[in-house]
Homo-oligomer: A and B are copies of this chain.
């Protein structure tokens, strides 16, 4: 077996040193009736490398993918461009095959990359500090709610209904087994109902969670939410799903977010059929000791040279056990390195271009819609909802578009089970060209 270095002779010599006569003796502490016959698992036979490649390649070829289609799907995951450099960096064995940097002297590579990541994310979000990752946006939102409860010592969590339903479901799920309540505030017209959100904030409220741009792509004014939070002593948690937005529109930090959470997938990480994703988590510095997750800090070594370490670990499960700020241990470290490399390449200007073109594509898409489809009104970043007369006409269009290599949108009820089955959630990125939009329009015309 090519991954196992021992020869049979190695094995016998080692058994001898141990002082047992055979491999089975090493398992003598396992009750005999628990032993299974070696080779008796109900599994296919071993595949050689060529066979594995063949198997996976054939499976891959059964899928249609963003490389050979035009992908207008969003809903939390976006088909942005990922430079080859990003993949090379995270494919290097020294980053890829390292563990969590527990021994900082021989982990400075990962640590400096994490520190750079934290700084870049904090800057992009306009926040003071940031951790070195949560699993994904949904769990980041849930952890934000938990953190707000710790900070405020209150238990009520208010969620705007325009927060991605998946984030909301996971958050409710995380909160439902502990005391306190979490409530959804209905939204209207595929946009955030700011007044209703403000209304829902009361003196028991630990935090209000809004999404910005919201699940439907809508961009709106957060000032009244911020004011209501101030009045009520609640924290404002701002969630987001495409981090590139903040190269274009004002960052949540500048709008007063106490905690800012969302997805970093847009920052150099392939869609990957849902994972590995990257959960971002940033907050105000004064709350940092209530923050979940790993965090890297700057320090110096015995010879006074700058260096980096994991820090504030007294918040974490391996020290605080049942009192930890979170149970998270393995996180999305490598994806932080990917995002750092991506952002280094892009810079402010590149990120702004990505965001601007994503938005420009949506404008172009919406402005050319035939009149049998209606786009949600109001300012949108790179995502919106298109409404059809009925489910059939929508599905008919979807099928036709697919035939032209276009994934034209996500049936809204797939993510938001309460939605009527005649809407499409549609997203655009810089990977959409003018020609693709023309084809989209043509596909719409074709089913008129």
- Contact present for B49 and A83 (CB under 8 Å): yes
- Contact present for A81 and B49 (CB under 8 Å): yes
List A86-134 residues whose CB lies under 8 Å from chain B: 92
- Contact present for A49 and B431 (CB under 8 Å): no
The chain B residue sitting closest to A58, CB to CB, is B68
- Contact present for B49 and A84 (CB under 8 Å): yes
Residues of chain B contacted by A83 (CB below 8 angstroms): 49
0/1 interface trace, chain A 27-64, chain B, CB 8 Å (1 if under): 00000000000000000000001100100010000000
Within the assembled complex, what's the spacing in Å between the Cα atoms of A49 and B92?
21
- Contact present for B50 and A431 (CB under 8 Å): yes
- Quickly give the copy total for this chain: 2
Residues of chain B contacted by A431 (CB below 8 angstroms): 50
The chain B residue sitting closest to A49, CB to CB, is B83
Residues of chain B contacted by A67 (CB below 8 angstroms): 57
What distance in Å separates the Cβ of A293 from its nearest Cβ neighbour in chain B? 31
Within the assembled complex, what's the spacing in Å between the Cα atoms of A49 and B84?
8
What distance in Å separates the Cβ of A346 from its nearest Cβ neighbour in chain B? 10
What distance in Å separates the Cβ of A139 from its nearest Cβ neighbour in chain B? 31
Interface size on A, residues (CB 8 A): 12
Residues of chain B contacted by A345 (CB below 8 angstroms): 2
Within the assembled complex, what's the spacing in Å between the Cα atoms of A345 and B57?
23
The chain B residue sitting closest to A81, CB to CB, is B50
Within the assembled complex, what's the spacing in Å between the Cα atoms of A84 and B81?
25
Residues of chain B contacted by A2 (CB below 8 angstroms): 345
Within the assembled complex, what's the spacing in Å between the Cα atoms of A53 and B84?
10
What distance in Å separates the Cβ of A283 from its nearest Cβ neighbour in chain B? 34
Residues of chain B contacted by A81 (CB below 8 angstroms): 49-50
What distance in Å separates the Cβ of A235 from its nearest Cβ neighbour in chain B? 40
The chain B residue sitting closest to A83, CB to CB, is B49
Residues of chain B contacted by A92 (CB below 8 angstroms): 92
Residues of chain B contacted by A53 (CB below 8 angstroms): 84
Residues of chain B contacted by A49 (CB below 8 angstroms): 81, 83-84
What distance in Å separates the Cβ of A39 from its nearest Cβ neighbour in chain B? 22
What distance in Å separates the Cβ of A395 from its nearest Cβ neighbour in chain B? 30
What distance in Å separates the Cβ of A365 from its nearest Cβ neighbour in chain B? 19
0/1 interface trace, chain A 131-155, chain B, CB 8 Å (1 if under): 0000000000000000000000000
What distance in Å separates the Cβ of A185 from its nearest Cβ neighbour in chain B? 40
What distance in Å separates the Cβ of A56 from its nearest Cβ neighbour in chain B? 12
The chain B residue sitting closest to A94, CB to CB, is B92
The chain B residue sitting closest to A51, CB to CB, is B433
Within the assembled complex, what's the spacing in Å between the Cα atoms of A228 and B417?
87
0/1 interface trace, chain A 338-352, chain B, CB 8 Å (1 if under): 000000010000000
Residues of chain B contacted by A84 (CB below 8 angstroms): 49, 53
The chain B residue sitting closest to A50, CB to CB, is B81
Residues of chain B contacted by A50 (CB below 8 angstroms): 81, 431
Within the assembled complex, what's the spacing in Å between the Cα atoms of A164 and B43?
47
Starting from the known contacts A2-B345, A53-B84, A57-B67, 6 additional A-B residue pairs (CB-CB under 8 Å) come to A49-B81, A49-B83, A49-B84, A50-B81, A50-B431, A92-B92
What are 9 sample pairs from A and B whose C-beta atoms fall under 8 A apart? Answer: A2-B345, A49-B81, A49-B83, A49-B84, A50-B81, A50-B431, A53-B84, A57-B67, A92-B92
Nearest 7 A/B pairs, CB to CB: A50-B81, A49-B83, A50-B431, A49-B84, A57-B67, A49-B81, A92-B92
